[in-house]
Amino acid sequence: MRMWMINPKVMCRKHLLGEHVELHMFVGHLSNVKSVKGYLKNNLLEPRSIEWRHEQLVEEMLRRGYNHNSPLDLSDALVYYPLEVQDHKINIIASLKELLSRCEECKANIDVIFNNCSEHLFRAPDQGMNENCRAVRLIHNPSGVKFDSVNFQTVSENRWHVKLQAVQML
C-alpha cells in the first residue's frame, strides 16, 4: 500500500485506481489502530492527507469517465496515533522518482507536460505560466543549479530548478 502524492492527472489508469483502492485499505488499517511505522519509514503514507488525496483521485477518476461509488470515511481513526505520525509528510520527489522508475506510461504523461511547458521552465514564478503548465513550478534554488524534473539530471546555468508539484492540479 502507498500514497504516491503525485498529480493524479499524470498518473496512468493502473496507478490512479491502485492508489484509490490503497487509500481505502489505509483507512481500514488506521481504523484498526495497527502500526504504520513501516509505511512512514518507507515514504508510503501521509495520514492527514488521506481524505484530501481521495478527493483528488476521485475528481480525476470522474474526469476520465470512471465510476466511483466508494466514499471514504477516516472519522476519528487518526486520534489514536501520535502527532508525529499524523503529521508525517511523503517526500514527493522521492515518490516521483520511484513512480517514474516503475511506469513508462506515467513517465510519458509527465514528459508531455514537461515538453509542452519548456518555454516556461526557467522563468521566475512571478513571470507567469500558461494554463497547461500549472503542474510545473519554478522553485528558487540558491545554489544556482537547475534540475531536469523528469530525469532529475543536474543542468548548471540558472538560479532556478524545476520540480513537479504533484499536489497542484493542472
Instruction: For the full predicted model, state whether its pTM sits above 0.85.
Output: no
Query: How far is residue 69's CA from residue 74's CA, in Å, rounded to a whole number?
Result: 16
pLDDT of residue 75: 85
Contact 156, 146 (CB under 8 A): yes
Dihedral pair phi/psi, residue 23, rounded to 5°: -65, -40
Q: Is residue 98 part of a domain?
A: no
Q: Which residues of the chain have pLDDT under 50?
A: 120-126, 129-132, 134-170
Query: How far is residue 52's CA from residue 169's CA, in Å, rounded to a whole number?
Result: 13
pLDDT of residue 135: 43
User: Are 141 and 84 in a shared domain?
Assistant: no
The tens digit of pLDDT for each residue in 88-113 reads 999 887 888 788 889 999 888 877 76
pLDDT of residue 130: 47
User: Are 74 and 14 in a shared domain?
Assistant: yes
pLDDT of residue 26: 96
User: Are 89 and 124 in a shared domain?
Assistant: no
Q: How many domains does the chain have?
A: 2
